[in-house]
Structure 1
Amino acid sequence: MFTGIITDVGTLAGKTPFGDGARLLIDCQYEAAGIDIGASIACAGVCLTVTAIEKAGNRTRFAVDVSGETMDKTTVGTWQVGDPINLERPLKAGDELGGHIVSGHVDGVAEIVARDDHEDMTVFRLSPPADLLPLIAAKGSVALDGTSLTVIDADDTFTIMTIPHTMAATTWGERRVGDMVNIEVDTIARYVARLVAVRAPGS
């Protein structure tokens, strides 16, 4: 379980075929001693399991194995060596819940269709998969590339706003029109939609 508060921006250091997917090597600032084999780390919002850890100069390098399905249904398949990646360690009991409840189970990929830079904020407009639109509400929460953000408005697209800190502390400063980002809708919205569907006449 995560909160959508990014704690490091890692770098993809390696990507090799593994089964029908890939084995990724990611460099980060986390202490190697604090990461266990089998631990979960959200990588651009995708919950992945650490399979190996080593030191890489003054940074820590960890390995994760990604299935072909994950490669197809998230942005992972497009990652290239050198790409920056938002990272978050899992929530511990007693930690501050600074964002919102994020599972790391990505629902799809959204496209950035507009970026408007202002003096004290940047507004992005995104186009999500059509089946996710009913689950995205104004003033609601959404996780984009693992970042907990608040929806400003929503119709056939939706907008979010990032403050300068978010632009500097995550990969959002580098995001441009045409970029694709991982999207996870609010968990509560997902279950409410499922409950309504089950109770609908004729279901």
Structure 2
Amino acid sequence: MFTGIVETVGRVKKLVSERENLHITVESSLATELKIDQSVSHNGVCLTVVDVSATVYTVTAIRETLVKSNLGELQKGSPINLERAMKLGDRLDGHLVQGHVDQTATCVAIEEAAGSTIFTFTYDASKGNITVEKGSITVNGVSLTVVNSEKDRFSVAIIPYTLAHTTFRELADGTRVNLEFDVIGKYVSRIMQAYR
């Protein structure tokens, strides 16, 4: 489990394809604190550390992960939001995040507001995922509050600190991002579908 509070931004050092898998080597200040078999969130995707050294570590994304997320679009040098799994007993500053990406969305608008930046995303609503105003959403591993919710789009307001310390500063119109919808909302939605 994660909180959606990004610890640091790493950089992709190397990408190696092996059959349908992608081995991703990341350069990060977290490398010295990691160990093999540890879970780390990468743009919101929970991946297992399979190799680690002083400045880099490697994780493996399987085909299912590459299909449902934007990790297959990474290139050498790409920035990536990183968060280690939460410790039981820590403060929960964001919300409960599983690291299981539900689908991707596309950034369709970025506008400056008084003290924040508003990002608007569209997604395929036919997959049954929903957002609610003032509800939680995870975008590329960042826990955020929905400020505008429609059937197939939503907006979030990013404060300057989050903009400076995550990959949001790299987003542009047309950028694809990973979404993990609120776990409680997903269960409620599934239950309601059964009654329809």
Question: How far did residue 132 of structure 1 move?
Answer: 5.3
- Alignment of 1:22 with 2:22, yes or no, is yes
Among candidates 166, 172, 179, match of residue 168 of structure 2? 172
Cα gap change, 1:79/1:135 in structure 2, threshold over 3 Å: closer, same or farther? Answer: same
Aligned to 1:94: 89
Equivalenced residues, count: 195
Aligned to 1:110: 105
- Alignment of 1:161 with 2:160, yes or no, is no
TM-score, normalization by structure 2: 0.95
- Alignment of 1:136 with 2:135, yes or no, is no
Which structure has the larger Rg? Answer: 1
Aligned to 2:12: 12
8 Å CA contact retained: 1:18, 1:65: no
User: In the alignment, residue 24 of structure 2 is paired with which amino acid?
Assistant: L
Cα gap change, 1:134/1:82 in structure 2, threshold over 3 Å: closer, same or farther? Answer: closer
Aligned to 2:71: 76
Mapped to 2, the partners of 1:28 and 1:134 lie a distance apart of: 33
Mapped to 2, the partners of 1:87 and 1:132 lie a distance apart of: 27
User: In the alignment, residue 75 of structure 2 is paired with which amino acid?
Assistant: Q
User: In the alignment, residue 139 of structure 1 is paired with which amino acid?
Assistant: K
Aligned to 1:42: 41
1:182-201 per-residue CA deviation (whole Å, 9 max, x = no partner) reads 00000000111112223x26
The percentage of counterpart residues that share the same residue type is 37
Mapped to 2, the partners of 1:80 and 1:17 lie a distance apart of: 12
Gaps of 5+ in 2: none
Residue range with higher mean Cα deviation, 166-175 or 110-119: 110-119
- Alignment of 1:189 with 2:188, yes or no, is no
- Alignment of 1:54 with 2:20, yes or no, is no
Question: How far did residue 19 of structure 1 move?
Answer: 2.5
TM-score, normalization by structure 1: 0.92
User: In the alignment, residue 86 of structure 1 is paired with which amino acid?
Assistant: N
Question: How far did residue 120 of structure 1 move?
Answer: 1.3
SS in 2 for 1:135: coil
1:80-126 per-residue CA deviation (whole Å, 9 max, x = no partner) reads 00000000000101111000000000000000000002351100111
Aligned to 1:149: 144
Mapped to 1, the partners of 2:99 and 2:175 lie a distance apart of: 20
User: In the alignment, residue 163 of structure 1 is paired with which amino acid?
Assistant: I
